A and B are shown apart, each in its own frame.
Chain A
């Protein structure tokens, strides 16, 4: 393919497929609406020209804030057509966070989904001197808004049509001028440490790495259906959803609402899919919990077939040949249960399945492998994109696979992962010091701790900064234990605590409200709130058992000795999690410092008065008593 930029590649698709081939599908008003490559191209063209008639200049940055919808993609490609960059913002960001991204990136326009997102921009518009217009695509609830900064997506398209009449050929000219060096998108680092940094991705970077990635995993020429579902503000969706769908000619399908994803997946039956670690965990928890609720016969089938699946998954992982009798047994198990289960989850047609962004418990990967779903847990970062990738037929639950062909990996003496990329990223926006800091002697320091196994597969353990030491100098990775705890259907989140001043390891547990609620219901345990449920004796006993189970798989010194069930869930609105749902460890440990002290003290209960921030910004206080529990000791 000769295209150097995504707009050029889009134009090629338009010329090749025109109105004959579907490019995207979105469920709207209960019906899947289709857009062909022609529709895609023309929307991009007119939206781009519309922005230009409103004052967009070459190389301008535009913030985009919304759920996954065709408009998101159109807006990004339109901005790129004028050689500018799209700045994706996560939809659940609070107004001040949105302000940071829009201000830092010098955005001149903002494209917002609906009333909720428009309100955020209206609240902060006076602080954004460069902002010219806020464009929305869902007019619901905005009928009476009179602010002159607002304009609808369709109005911009109409302006673009006028502009096209006045300046025919302008759009083609711009697309022709586009070069691989143009910055195409900003992806902000998730900011587990400090303020988010704006990683700049060039057109060359996006086009080349998505093409190579697609070649490696065979996206091309298969007319794959893709479910666009992870936030486009995230680099992975930039790679698969935006660049991948154009370059490899995949159909991007957009769910109706975030709540209808489960239903929509079934209607689409995607071939290629990316779920974050949390989603695989949720899916697994859901199946397990539903099975507990199910009829006797179904439970029996589940109990017979699942071990068969796991056994065969193990054999495949060990690269052993699966003997004929086992193949027959697996065939029967597959048709007795796995096939139906996959169908229920909408995962029947899957060919290529990804996860990344956070550690996933090997048990989860193994579990889905038993169902015949090979989840490829790859290793990537905002700056470097994909760095290692499990290859088809050689997917092992505990590794992230070997390095991709365009990346070279070595380990520093301390065990930090260093990489050299054939397609280097373009640095952080307005922050050359941070850019320089990350690269020494041509190697990019990822800040992740890991090691290579004898077959050249990378195993990522944790962030370097997150490795902990216990009194006596033994090192351990809290995250390693946390992901294994989260495999329990009853544990939604966990924070593992330890340190040089501490003799042993302890845990703060977030129970899973839904599954624990079911558990309580089945046993007629009355409870009122999350807080109340979390402190019930039966509930702590159950968690106790779950932790003891995980302890068995851990080295002696890293076993969890005491734990508390936290009275509330970790919440991104309170800065306890990042927007991609990673734990902000230092912050959380600081916040619950007294509680952690209690874990190492002699009291067996602790009173907390915690402040909570509600979604609308109000603050409240809850007071409650938390039990400190000794693992293994069941009163």
Chain B
């Protein structure tokens, strides 16, 4: 259910991104509001991932502005933006594949670790207490995403669906205030998709943070998102409630082609 209080958390205005002569995004305006799951959909190459990459600082637009709670993100580097609490997952899963699930998640907590490498190595005093409290937070997330059985498994040994889940857990470990998910259900079977959809809803309900979701599976999008924005060739062609988008002619054209 969309909640009524809907202040903008991230406001994107006139965003344009160019690779040489190719304009990947063209004057995109978009608001990400508190208390909503916003789905971004569009055909392949529409610029969905580019949009996320701009928000979290991988790409810098040549025009336009991204404001996060009135702070300008446009020129910040990715790690600065991560520290502000904007976390994301990746289409192609970016994890330390040789480390265990637990180590991956603990590493993700490092943005919140206050003590230096020396104390950390000695595992002494405050650093020890800090490590334990971080482990508790990580365990909460392991429980939330039902990963108890794979906690100590090496990531490379896990099947694809579970690696996707670890990637989501890694993003959650940053204690984000905004969560960006890039095709979290790509390549999954029906059951895995249902699990993932349930996890996304659980996270949304528990953490009460806005979630931006790029997804191709229309059933899932219609089911769990509160609002949908549609991109086509780098331009936003529609935005609205799922019921509105379903019957929007421009959207149907973009997906199905001209009659």
> Which residues of A does B touch, CB under 8 Å?
29-31, 140-141, 143-144, 256-257, 259-260, 263
Contact = CB atoms under 8 A, between A and B. Distances in A.
B140 A29 contact: yes
B139 A140 contact: no
A30 B202 contact: no
Contacts of B136: 29
B206 interface: yes
A119 to B, nearest CB: 12
Contacts of A257: 146, 148-149
B143 A140 contact: yes
Given A29-B139, A30-B139, A144 B149 contact: no
Interface in B119-165: 135-136, 139-140, 142-144, 146, 148-149, 151
A140 B140 CA distance: 11
B143 A29 contact: yes
Given A30-B139, A257-B146, 18 more contacts: A29-B136, A29-B139, A29-B140, A29-B143, A30-B135, A30-B142, A140-B143, A140-B202, A141-B198, A141-B202, A141-B205, A143-B206, A144-B205, A257-B148, A257-B149, A259-B149, A260-B148, A263-B149
Q: Which of A29, A31, A140 has most chain B Cβ within 10 Å?
A: A29
Given A29-B136, A29-B139, A30-B139, A256 B148 contact: yes
A140 B144 contact: yes
B62 to A, nearest CB: 42
A257 B205 CA distance: 23
B66 to A, nearest CB: 31
Nearest to A139: B206
Contacts, number: 29
A620 to B, nearest CB: 12
Contacts of B142: 29-30
A86 to B, nearest CB: 27
A31 B132 CA distance: 12
14 contacts: A29-B140, A29-B142, A29-B143, A30-B142, A30-B148, A141-B198, A143-B205, A144-B205, A256-B148, A257-B146, A257-B148, A257-B149, A260-B148, A260-B149
- 4 shortest A-B CB distances, which residue pairs? A29-B139, A259-B149, A257-B148, A260-B149
Contacts of B202: 140-141
Contacts of A144: 205
A621 B140 CA distance: 40
A602 B139 CA distance: 60
B151 A30 contact: yes
Q: Which of A141, A256, A260 has most chain B Cβ within 10 Å?
A: A141
Interface in B186-224: 198, 202, 205-206
Contacts of A143: 205-206
A141 B145 CA distance: 11
A207 B232 CA distance: 72
A256 B151 CA distance: 12
Contacts of A30: 135, 139, 142, 148, 151
A257 B142 CA distance: 12
B205 A259 contact: no
Contacts of B139: 29-31
A144 B1 CA distance: 11
Contacts of A140: 143-144, 202
Contacts of A31: 139
B148 A259 contact: yes
A257 B147 CA distance: 10
A144 B144 CA distance: 15
Contacts of B140: 29
